[in-house]
Amino acid sequence: MGISHYIKEIGRGKDGARALDRAQARDLFGQVLDWRVSDLEVGAFCLAMRIKGETPEEMAGFLDATHERLARLPASTAPCVVLPSYNGARKLPVLTPLLALLLAREGLPVLIHGTATESARVLGSEVLGLLGVAPLSDMRPLTPGEVGWAPTELMLPSLKRLLDVRRTVGLRNPAHSLVKLMNPCAGPAIVVGSYTHPEYALSMAQTFELTGAHALLLRGTEGEPVADPRRQPAMDAFVAGQRRLLSPKQEGSLAVLPELPTEVDAVSTARYTQAVLAGDLPVPAPIAAQVRHLLALSSQLQALEHSP
């Protein structure tokens, strides 16, 4: 059928474009993921959506299409914490691996997924490799206390291909937002969604509500799903799409700055992570709070699973 009729609707510019409903968005994105359209149509779709912006209804439809095609992680005995790691580090160390290992130490299965979307940044996957966490070769169940690292192409090669369009056109597309919202798990899971720009806080929250997700939403560190180690961001929980504030944004000046590595390279970050895990350095307070919130959410989901 093609997607040209959808492009006509979404490609009329910022003021003239019409938003798609959830079913239309699902159909369009499904055709894109199946690569049943030309490269020219994919480029037109990406540019049109970049200009128009995605509505929560459209993002829910894009997620529907993605979830239908993902190779999903089988259920574990405990809810899996999902950490999308796509941005990496530019000015601050990438501490997503530290968050994952702290959660695993508490007995939770943790899935990190991602791919390189920024060529000049230090990636969480580089730090994970130095810490002995190798990429998964298949989407197998994770045991409690295990960290799994899944490259995007393992879950859905065409999604990785769509992310790579950025290298050609130089602009992000809906896939870059979608990967921070999707749930690659077949069983109960908590998706940790992060945003950098305030306008995305609203749209991501509305998408979690529309899709009935279990999630934690916060302003992450340079786009990574981990709290800024210097100052605690606001954190919101979603249970079956129902939202509640867990902790407000920390206001005022900081009395003490955490001891962080002076360099953001993978080796320095891995050494810092090991020092924190060994107890030689303290866990930054905002990350410790994030761990507590995720443990409480996991307990709540387990209680819901076993309720009559």
Which domains, and CATH codes, for the chain? 4-69 (1.20.970.10), 80-306 (3.40.1030.10)
Residue 168: per-residue pLDDT:
80
Which of 1 and 47 is assigned the larger pLDDT?
A: 47
Query: Could you tell me the sign of the dihedral formed by the alpha carbons of 249, 244, 204, 87, in that order?
Result: positive
pLDDT tens, residue by residue, 13-61: 777 889 999 999 999 999 999 999 999 999 999 999 999 999 999 999 9
Kind plus residue range of the DSSP H or E element containing 242 = strand 242-247
Rg (CA), the chain: 19
pLDDT confidence of residue 199: 86
Q: How far apart are CA 155 and CA 138, in angstroms?
A: 9
The pLDDT-based confidence of 174 (bands split at 50, 70, 90) is: very high
| pTM reported for the whole predicted model | 0.94
Query: Is residue 173's pLDDT more than 80?
Result: yes
Position 255 pLDDT exceeds 80: no
What is the average pLDDT across 238-263? 85
Contact 142, 148 (CB under 8 A): yes
Percentage, residues of the chain above pLDDT 70? 97
Q: What is the pLDDT of residue 152?
A: 97
pLDDT tens-place string over residues 94-139:
999 999 999 999 999 999 999 977 777 899 999 999 999 999 999 9
Instruction: Please give the helix or strand (H or E) that residue 112 lies within, else none.
Output: strand 110-114
User: Does the pLDDT at position 306 exceed 70?
Assistant: yes
* Residue 155 binned pLDDT confidence (cut-offs 50, 70, 90): very high
Mean pLDDT on 234-242: 97
Q: Do residues 266 and 122 lie in contact, with contact meaning Cβ atoms separated by under 8 Å?
A: yes
User: What is the mean pLDDT of the segment spanning 188-211?
Assistant: 94
Question: Shortest CA distance to 266 belongs to which of 110, 82, 103, 116?
Answer: 116
- For position 278, what pLDDT does the model report? 97
Higher pLDDT, 274 or 75: 274
pLDDT for 12 equals 86
For the chain, percent of residues with pLDDT exceeding 90: 79
Mean pLDDT of the chain: 93
Element (H, E) at 245: strand 242-247
Q: What is the pLDDT of residue 254?
A: 60
Identify the pLDDT of residue 96. Answer: 97
pLDDT class for 1, splitting at 50, 70, 90? low
